[in-house]
Structure 1
Amino acid sequence: MSELRAPVDRKALWVVRELGLPAVIRPCVSCRADRHHATGKFRVNASGKLLDVWLLIGCDQCDRTSKIPLHERIHVQALDHRRLLAYEANDPTMIRRVVMDSGLAGRCGHRLDWAGAWTLDTDTPFYDGEPLEVFVRFELPAPIRVVKLLMAGLGLSRSAVRALPLDLPVDLDARVREDFTFLVTG
């Protein structure tokens, strides 16, 4: 953002809130549908001193349960004890963390679909043409295109957002998942 801009009297806070977990996109082995949801459970299997840990997901169409491997043939001592207890207890915080892990998605060959997983709370439902400074806070690390956030927050179409005089720290088409501030200059 520009260091020489005039102070803006109008400020707004936008908060990206969680509505649910993202969908896991990968083909179902039974019905070939591609959307899955987290079942809220892990499966931990021990064979001697070796462990296998999977996240269980269910197909949205046929409800078949599938597994996403988290640890395979790992020695019991190599896994943090608190993490193992969280897996065994089906800890909701651990489920959330694992489902939202884009690195895991890449390693396991699936994608995450964040559509319907977030909402934008804002105190500025429509843009009225006046300069406005907006603070965007993420309670959910969903990768969202900046243009989509502005469309939702300002109540404008994509073309109207693209026509606005904006002072953004990132490109309008970039995906963001961390807090940032921008300015609508008028």
Structure 2
Amino acid sequence: MCNLLKVRWTITPQIPPRPLLICAGCGVIRPFQCSGKARLNANGRRLDAWLIYKCPVCDKSWNRPLFERRSVRDIPPAMLAALQTNDPIWIRCQAFDLAALRSHAFHIEECDKIDILRQVLDRPDVWSILHVELVMDLPAGIRLDRLLARELGLPRSRLQSLQRRERLRLGSGRSDALRKRVSDGTSIVLDLAGEPNRQMIGDAASGRSRP
């Protein structure tokens, strides 16, 4: 399609989900932060492992179980090595495992702060359709409508209007997709023909300027 501006946004969340817990040191509910450290304890040939969280005010710790009483033979070597060395990449992946965290904490605070790497895949001299492809390795706590409004400089009401007029199409095809969390592989197509600020929107999507 010769009139298609195609870009890829690689999204990286900045802050892992934080469990809201009653801090034993402060005596009030605090959003505990992942410390980036794990704890491994041996009991004979069986191991326990936890991810360590800290109160941001008094530094009191909370240990989130990763597994308990597991035989050494049942633990993948790569996982065991990551626990023994506090591998930062592996620990970061565990910290963003929202489903696992929810099994130990009823209330969780998610942060919508993200970094975006913008890549222009195709930009013809004359274009009228914007195609944005989302790529992400870790879950981010931000809705799709808020992401697009913030990064393209468009009010959410205008995004909704474009969707109603079928000038904003989403790969999932769901009518409520704008209100859902962003996810890897999401495809957004915006028909901006006749829109007065088409160039500004395209520049924002491409990273040439910020809204």
Shorter-chain TM-score above 0.5: yes
TM-score (norm 1): 0.81
Aligned-pair CA distance for 1:122: 4.2
Contact 1:16 1:119 in 2 (8 A): yes
TM-score (norm 2): 0.72
**Counterpart residue number, 1:61:** 57
**Counterpart residue number, 1:114:** 111
Say if 1:78 and 1:34 are closer, same or farther in 2 by CA, change over 3 A: same
- Residue 181, structure 1, aligned to residue 187, structure 2: yes
Aligned-pair CA distance for 1:30: 2.6
Secondary structure, aligned partner of 1:144: coil
Cα deviation per residue 1:39-75 (whole Å; 9 max; x = unaligned)? 1211111121221111111111221111001111222
Secondary structure, aligned partner of 2:178: coil
Contact 2:12 2:140 in 1 (8 A): no
Aligned-pair CA distance for 1:7: 5.7
Secondary structure, aligned partner of 1:12: strand
| Structure number with higher helix proportion | 2
Cα deviation per residue 1:162-185 (whole Å; 9 max; x = unaligned)? 222311123211223212222111
Aligned-pair CA distance for 1:80: 1.9
Cα deviation per residue 1:4-39 (whole Å; 9 max; x = unaligned)? xx7633333323134x33142221233223312221
Q: Distance in 1 between matches of 2:8 and 2:158?
A: 21
Of 128, 133, 145, which residue of structure 1 is paired with 2:131?
133
RMSD: 2.4
In the TM superposition, 1:23-102 aligns within 5 A as: 23-27=17-21, 28-31=23-26, 32-102=28-98
Cα deviation per residue 1:147-176 (whole Å; 9 max; x = unaligned)? 012112211222222222311123211223
Aligned-pair CA distance for 1:101: 0.9
Unpaired segments of 5 or more residues in structure 2? 121-127, 193-211
Secondary structure, aligned partner of 1:178: coil
**Counterpart residue number, 1:155:** 153
Q: Distance in 1 between matches of 2:98 and 2:17?
A: 12
Say if 1:47 and 1:145 are closer, same or farther in 2 by CA, change over 3 A: same
Contact 1:105 1:112 in 2 (8 A): no
How many residues end up aligned between the 2 structures? 175
Q: Distance in 1 between matches of 2:82 and 2:71?
A: 17
